[in-house]
Structure 1
Amino acid sequence: LLASGSDDSEIRLWELHRYRAKTGLAGRIRPDPIDGPAAGVTTVATQHDGSSVLALAFSPNGLLLASGDKTGTVTLRQAESLEPLASFQAHSVETRSLVFGPESRILYSGGGGGPSSIRIWDVAHNELLARLLQDETTWSLGLTPDGKTLVSGREDSTVHLWNVSEPSHPALIHSLYGYRMSLTTLAWSPCGRWLATGDVHGDILVWDVSNEQPMQRYEMKCEDGPVYAVAFSPDGNLLASTSGAAAQHSVRVWDPGSGTRQAAVSLDMVQLSVAFAHGGRTLLSSGRDGTVHFWAIGSLDLQPMPQQIHVEPGLFYSTCNRAGTLMVTHGGGKPVEVWGIVATTSEPPTLLHTLPGHRATWCAAIDADANLLAYAGPAHAIALWNLAAPGKADLLHTLKGHTNQITSVAFSPDGSQLVSCSFDRSVRLWDVETGRHLALLGNHPQFALGVVFSPDGSRVASIGKEGLLCIWNTHTGEQEHVLKAPLPYEGMNITGVTGISEAQRVALKVLGAMEK
């Protein structure tokens, strides 16, 4: 039997003995197409909630089929009838990979939505045995034939080897680090000269985009892990960042003109967002602990302030308007909430609005005048709200055009336009007053992950998973520049080099080395 699952929420079993393989061109094996009335589908099961099936695994004894879906649920089924036997919430967001132990009693699941993206289950008793600490989504799992070593692949191209000879007491054996160029965040300075980006390797690059040919000026290194967020202060004299991995995370403040660090604080929980308030005197950060932290910016460190906001832990984000007078919090299954930040640094924020609708909001933005709010949820649409009336929030438009998860939204400086990007790779421009789609600025080769307007509104910058920083002209819709950080071995000449294998030579060239 072959089991298949898809976005249509169906699990299908196929009888493979009906099919033969025949030789195609160049000696490749080309299977006969499986379609039509004699397709050989023996059994079909449908997810009760209509969620996409992302992972399937047969138990070695052939009695069980485990399925994982987009909601993070794992369902155990009788292998031949697909009758459900048990189900449990394995991960808070999605279950991406499943593998059984050799005795069919232990199930390993990999997914996302929390710091423990690998979990070990005793399926005989429906019991969670252990959690393996990982910040990034786990996309794939494999098990050695003896069942003693688990291999996991993370979203950041890292491979971990785990000793699972005692499933209830797993231990990390070794980590193998791949290389990817993915940019994670960006910010444009108020003066318009500097454009800052952060990446998965902990590097912050500051680009000078004031000339016809932009150039990289400074590189700041966050040693503790990937950069999650960057933000400029209102006067542009400071650049804040959040970064980290595992149990080590930091909020830092830099001088963008020199690339030197000004202040920092360490935390044990990832901080996914950072913003300035109180005219740049206060820094806000928020993350998976469900807390918005307020920090007083000192000469060497960041001092915690008393006015914190606490909600339930989860993927939690916050953002402010340019003046730092209004804040929106969202994500982690929580409603979108709008807070007023009072002028004095001693009083806590005031909850102004709790907006109906999405509880899985990935991104949000407030315009400069704090009159407009845009956020995007799981329905591939953007909700645009009017916050101008005291104590009242009105839905203005629902903007539709993207075909996958929207990852970032940003208002133009005058609030007349909105830019958005998505996992569908596109960067789109919208008219705020009418809700009309103005232009498709372009597409990234891979997922588009972030967008921002220039201070004069004439340009938009976007970043993608492939590591490109693109600058678009909002008047003509044309792409002005495509910037990319240098690869780790950029320009290294390996012509005639001996003592390295062919695989090493290929890897060096992929990472920027040249051979004449």
Structure 2
Amino acid sequence: MKSDFKFSNLCGTVYKKGNLVFTPDGNSILSPVGNRVSVFDLVNNKSTTFPFEMRKNIVKIALSPQATILITVDEDGRALLVNYPRQIVLHHFNFNEKVNDIEFSPDGKYFAVTHGKQVQVWKTPGFNREFAPFVLHRVYTGHYDDILSISWSFDSKFFLTTSRDMTAHIYSLVPTEGFTHMTLGGHRDSVLGAWFSKDSKAIYTISKDGALFHWRYASVANILGQEDSDDEMNEDKADDEIAKPADRVRWRVQERHYFMQAGAKVKSCAFHQASNLLVVGFSSGIFGIWELPTFTNIHTLSISQKKIDTVAINATGEWLAFGCSQLGQLLVWEWQSESYVLKQQGHFYDMTSVAYSTDGQNIVTGGDDGKVKVWNSVSGFCYVTFSDHTSGVSAVEFAKQGQVVFSASLDGTVRAFDLVRYRNFRTFTSPTPVQFTSLAVDPSGEVICAGSMDSFEIYVWSVQTGKLLDILEGHEGPISSLGFSPTGLLLVSGSWDQTARTWDVFGRKKSIETYKHTSDVLAVAFRPDGKEIATSTLDGQISFWDVEDAKQTSLIEGRKDISGGRKANDRVTAENSASGKSFNSLCYTADGSCIIGGGNSKYVCIYDIATNILVKKFQISMNLSLDGTQEFLNSSKMTEFGSKETMVDDDDMSDLEDRLDKSMPGAASGDLSARRTRPEARTRAVRFAPTGRAWAAASTEGLLIYSLDDTIIFDPFDLEIDITPDSVLETLEGKEYLKALCMSFRLNEKPIIQKVFEGIPPKDVELVAQDLPEKYLERLLKFVGVHMENSPHVEFHLMWITRLLMAHGRYLKQNRGQFQAVFRTLQKVLGSVKEDLANLCDSNTYMLRYIITQCEKSSGASMDGVQPELLSI
């Protein structure tokens, strides 16, 4: 089995904290998700997450106007310089101060970053790796409190800063003749935003209390009017006869406006210079759009009950993006048509369970918030959310046949959801209220079983009728896990009573065998062939049992492998705090040769069953903002009152509603952004994809997807110096098809492989398939399966598949474990093509019948004798 799985995508988390940034073309938006960055393509409906991680949660990101350089800054002021097109980290840098804002100049030559009470302007680095790419241009001072925001003028010569000291300052990038540093005062609360107009003749400032000031660069006469200007000028001359004429022209307040949102503070704001569009988000979850300088309210809409943390406007001014950290919500709204372009939200609390569909295209997750979400594994978007449960969802499963999702919840119900009509069509309950902690679905989809926490029983229902068929009794502790065998004849259950049992659900003798352990059983799983059972226990062991003989075949001592990470308040290192580390989720690979496990740890482990050896260990997160990611005790952060990392030190909590703590004493779950205890890095569930090419983990960070990396541009296979793209094409033109095909696979560039593959005539397919070396067989079958999905040459691909299976059937049968993932990929593609062709034929049939019917009505005569072959369709 291949073990070179790499991080592929992050689903289930669309926004954590920080600012949102649109790309210059306005088609994509960048969102910080914890210590990673996700890019949502709004046109192609696809999301991707960058592979790099930061030390802590990201608070600010900035993208250059040419979309070449990306700078990300975390909570401690550490920054990464990233080559955006290639997603490669070029440099690490530390600003040594908490960063509130970072902005590139419109010409892309400089970027300004807040540094406490100062502003640092740096020259934009190049695209190559350099020893010291950050070159400081100048440091600007003048504020008396932390600076909150920075904005540039349209010509990149000046920039504005706002601060908690209730003022805004104007600075010039380079010394300008006749310009002096200016201060704009008058607000009664922290100034959150300040912007130049497009012609730089006006400035708009917004404070936290909802006041908007319109500033003009003019004299008193132009502001107050010509009538009373003469009197004022005479008074000024009397007071100060030596005043210079230049002192009379400066930035002055022309108008004051107020948003009039009772009881709500301004939390975020953005201004679009080209269209003079102002967007403001309030603490009440309401946002408004105003047109300046007339201050005309275009629209006001409530999108949530929580505060709006960030607002962004794309280059054209058509799309608005909003982020809400308390809900983990990301919205993109087109204000002209008043419609959503994107509306995504992750699970409000932890993600507890995950399951793959049979074709691997969809992933269903359940969370502590009681919601069931279905994600598309290709696009990374959630396309349906079911909120029928009133308590946390403990287990989810896909039906092996059909578009049906089952979920078990602590609210005492098991529900079935239809993915065609998107509705809850069946609800299963027990005679007495119990809490369900586990779930299993029969391969036929006719029977569903759920294990309870308090009655220690297993309930069996019929999916068709919804009636309770049986109650399986025998366990003496809560049921932790259930699983059906692939044949559907046996049901295995694991319990806290230190036993695992197999049940014959459809036979008279219910309990067949009891597998005794030395500790509580947390997870059970059947091998794909149904001949072996794997169980994990509280002491960190994984046991393997033979189903026929009911004997233990092997044992893996995994506590040392999964142990790792210490909490902030622990007085010991991670090595000495290994107690409680165990696997709470198990899953076999597609070929059954390996098993993957995850638990209350930052690690996910894959073991080879035959040798009981750890194949690979994955670390799900390196985010130091989470508990359980550090290995050693940092005594410099320990005080007599506890760790400094757990102490709340947030200057933004100046409002009463921010300082109120409404959580229950001792509660460790709830609103992740407001609770006093830090989230812990752990994995609640792991599952392998049916194709064997990927696996997913429901973790604290979200739904992590690891896959075999197929996006590498240059990954040669047994390459020689004389194999080049030109030589491959020359061989193809010389009609040496087998040699050209083998050379293209050794070069391993997808465009070359596709050109050679499609250049082989159909009449020569049989000969090429017969003479193909066996070491290229897996690569060719995989290529055919992937390429067939997007190619119109259906018959050509079917011919290849048929000839390869006929020529190499015996070899494939002997090594079916190695080709298991390839077979599943081919099965998925063939099923998809069959469904598409069937839908096309049905559509053409209905269209022909409609045309014939219309012809009969228009002619008034029957068409039976004219076209009998059409009427017989």
Give the TM-score, by structure 2 length: 0.30
Question: Bigger relative contact order, structure 1 or 2, given CA contacts below 8 A and separation 6+?
Answer: 2
The structure richer in strand per residue is: 1
Structure ID, larger Rg: 2
Give the TM-score, by structure 1 length: 0.49
